[in-house]
Amino acid sequence: MRWAQNKYDFLWYRQVMSFRKLSLSRKQTLETFSFYKNLDSTYQKQFEHRVACFITDKVFRRRSGAQVTDVQKVTISCVAVMLTFGRRNYMMDQLETILIFEEPFTSAANSQKHKGEYNPRAAVLALSWPDVLKGIKDAKDNFHLALHEFTHVIHIESERAQHIDAMRYHKYHQLILIRLMQKDLRRTMERSPFFREYAFTNQYEFMAVLTEYFFESYEELKAQFPQLHELMSKALLFEEKWMS
């Protein structure tokens, strides 16, 4: 046992010992998540704790009426925790229910087929499970459905909540928009095929797509658009060592 040498050691020890742990079956799913595997042991404990808390905090439902599996709960929660790992407030208070579909679904908003959709009024995030898995499986194509949709959640949260993480995200989101209006960056983006066209639909989609590129093309984004990379890092309080 590591005995505390002073009050700061004691606080550290109490925090570590209070980390929640997942069951063995859920831990097995966690250990397949590449972001988690790249973390050192201390960060892994924190990541596991947050996944356990996120699962407890949210209501998971399957649209088919079948029971939600542990694999689905852990996998989706891992993406949420990865996105918010630099934040103190990682629970996404503007989200209560995660609704899992077996395939793309018809949106009540526009009667079109969607793979994912966030309804802030109902605090519900709907996800097509096959497309969640597809986004995670190919870690370099810059298409990551769950990451994209969770970004919408924290984006809306940043416009409504007053906690420090929401305000920080809002601040750097605004700085990203200002940066996009500068001629030099616009010219560079017009000449580059780096971002897919959908990114320029509106500010919400740009932030969601930028986040996908941030996690799946981390070094490429840093090399080609260093200002956007830096602002996104600050918005998420993201540390580069987590990607190594």
pLDDT tens by residue, the chain, 244 residues: 344 444 444 444 445 558 999 999 999 999 999 999 999 999 999 999 999 999 999 999 998 888 999 999 999 999 999 999 999 999 999 999 999 999 999 988 888 999 999 999 999 999 999 999 999 999 899 999 999 999 999 999 999 999 999 999 999 999 999 999 998 988 888 888 999 999 999 999 999 999 999 999 999 999 999 999 999 999 999 999 998 7
3 state DSSP class of 113: strand
Per-residue pLDDT, 111: 86
Do 105 and 126 meet the contact criterion of CB atoms below 8 Å apart?
yes
Strands 116-119 and 124-128, bridge-based pairing: antiparallel
Per-residue pLDDT, 186: 81
| DSSP category for residue 93 | T
CA distance 233 to 235: 6
Residue 183: exposure state from Cβ atoms within 10 A (0-12, 13-18, ≥19): exposed
Do 1 and 10 meet the contact criterion of CB atoms below 8 Å apart?
no
Tell me the CATH architecture of domain 10-243: Orthogonal Bundle (1.10)
Residue whose token pair is 């989706």: 76
CA distance 34 to 11: 30
Per-residue pLDDT, 17: 54
Q: What is the DSSP string of 159-189?
A: HH--SHHHHHHHHHHHHHHHHHTSHHHHHHH
Per-residue pLDDT, 108: 83
